[in-house]
Amino acid sequence: MPYAMCPICGATTHMNVSDPAAWYAERHPAVPFGELAPEPCPHCFAELAVGDRVVTRRWVNENAPVEAGQQGELVAVYANPAVGRVYVVALASGRRITVPRAAIRKRRGSEG
C-alpha cells in the first residue's frame, strides 16, 4: 500500500487504495512506486476559513513559540498568491498569534 507525506505538517499517512500502481500512475507519475508521495493528511486536508475553531500544533518560532493543544478561533487569513498564506488565531487565553498552516489544524467536534 502507498504511503504519503503531508506537505503541510510532515505527517506520514497510509493511503488505502485498491490499486497502488494505478494510484501512483494517476496521481504521482514522477514519484517512483513505493516512495512517499505528497498528499495532505486528514488534519490538513480541509481548507481553513475565518471563524473556524482550531487547535495549535507545536510550532517553534524565534519570536513566539506556540505550544500544542491550545484552542482558538481563526480571525484572519493573509494570502500572497506567489508564496502562500499565514493564519491569525485568537487563542482562548486571549493571545493572538500569526502562524503558518503547519502550526494549526481544524478542531474536532470531540475537542469542545
| DSSP symbol at 27 | H
| Tens-place pLDDT, residues 50-95 | 999 999 987 777 776 788 899 999 999 999 999 999 999 999 999 9
| DSSP symbol at 111 | G
Tell me which of 111 and 26 has the higher pLDDT. 26
Query: How many CB atoms sit inside 10 A of residue 2's CB?
Result: 21
Supply the range of the domain harboring residue 60: 53-111
pLDDT tier, 35 (very low <50, low <70, confident <90, very high otherwise): very high
Residue 33 is assigned to a structural domain of this protein: yes
CATH number at residue 76: 2.30.30
Residues 68, 102 within the same domain:
yes
Measured on CA atoms in the order 69, 70, 72, 77, is the torsion positive or negative? negative
| DSSP symbol at 35 | S
Residues 6+ apart with CB under 8 A from 10: 102
pLDDT tier, 105 (very low <50, low <70, confident <90, very high otherwise): very high
C-alpha closest to that of 69 among 61, 82, 59, 79: 59
Query: How many CB atoms sit inside 10 A of residue 62's CB?
Result: 5
Residue 46 is assigned to a structural domain of this protein: no
Residues 6+ apart with CB under 8 A from 51: 73, 74
Structural domains in the chain (count): 2
